[in-house]
Structure 1
């Protein structure tokens, strides 16, 4: 979702193959956040930057096709079951999730009972969680499958960036700058740190860079055919797990897990 422009993500001037109406409809679907049950057309318009009449036509169409459900009482919309169907189809097509399942359990058996292990893939300028495994303690990170994290500030996002070619890194950076021009210098520094961390440790770090209360380390993981780059993350509340513990107790575990998956 691009909150600064009414141009949909992926739009390029003069691209005759690009269907703007479809892209705007998808922007509406992704404007729903984790805590949003219902959104009005006005709220969707504010989040997407689209004109209210355009939003009204698109939400009506999405409702008629089953991707949105309209409340009879308020006239607001919530995501429909077809969106969930797409999500499960995407996960089913991702072979890495099944292969990573055993590794997630093993990483959660480490010395700290408050960690969360996750797998994510890039979507635009964000990292989307495909799988999450938590320790059994009550104080863990409450981030679930489908959560969207900032690519340049979260550990898992930085790992994905580090796994891309330099050309692709710069392309993603320019896309992010167009979306958030006020954060250009911060994102450039973050990308440099991701690359430096990966060269130094074999994984990336994010110690309070995304949220002050979260520490994490993460490594890139390529699909077997080399076409996709995922991020594997180990993290937890900063008051329960320190940067030093992540380096000393989980760095080798993370590198081994990613190395093992890459060889299977």
Structure 2
């Protein structure tokens, strides 16, 4: 049986090393280390862990609580907070991120083990209860269809290699930047209102909530090259039905009749 893979997100190298050793003694595999919230999201995409141990007070584009929210909601990976911040405000913010465990430093090895095991079990029950089908990130990374995840502000949380090819902006370059800042586009249909930003077009298109609602665009990339794409936008909802962002599907308009039937993989849209 494969061991549980855990990502450690901790900005103190000494604590991270001790935590890594303790996890190993319990038979867990440490699949990666991150020192900031934004790096944590990138590591989740790269390593596809079973669980994330997350500090709260992190530097970077987003702190541990914001990162945990996106990791749970978009990638269906459970998070356990492991932090020295135990004040009322921190706990209230942490609760909003819907973690599957909370450990206040210092804690014992047995407290750590018990919290992880309960978190893994609770997450499995949660997924079954709400009929959530996790989607392996390596599936998204290998698709020849471009897939992007945007938060409610239009910032990019995930962009697969195909999306990077079509937009001319890799995932690392696009991460947490606004979609309007990374895609230089023009409408295929000249009568379309060119004053619309791409973000406005995405949110307008997704209002229909149907994958069949499409927008045809020409994306301008470096060197004066252009790529013609068909964009499909869908709302991403959490288990309560609240809108938490958008999933964008991009297909290059080459041999379009043969490609038009592709769909976003099951498990992405709840």
**TM norm structure 1:** 0.38
Q: Which has the higher helix share?
A: 1
TM-score, L = length of structure 2: 0.37
Q: Which protein is richer in strand relative to its size?
A: 2
Q: Which has the higher contact order (CA 8 A, sep 6+)?
A: 1
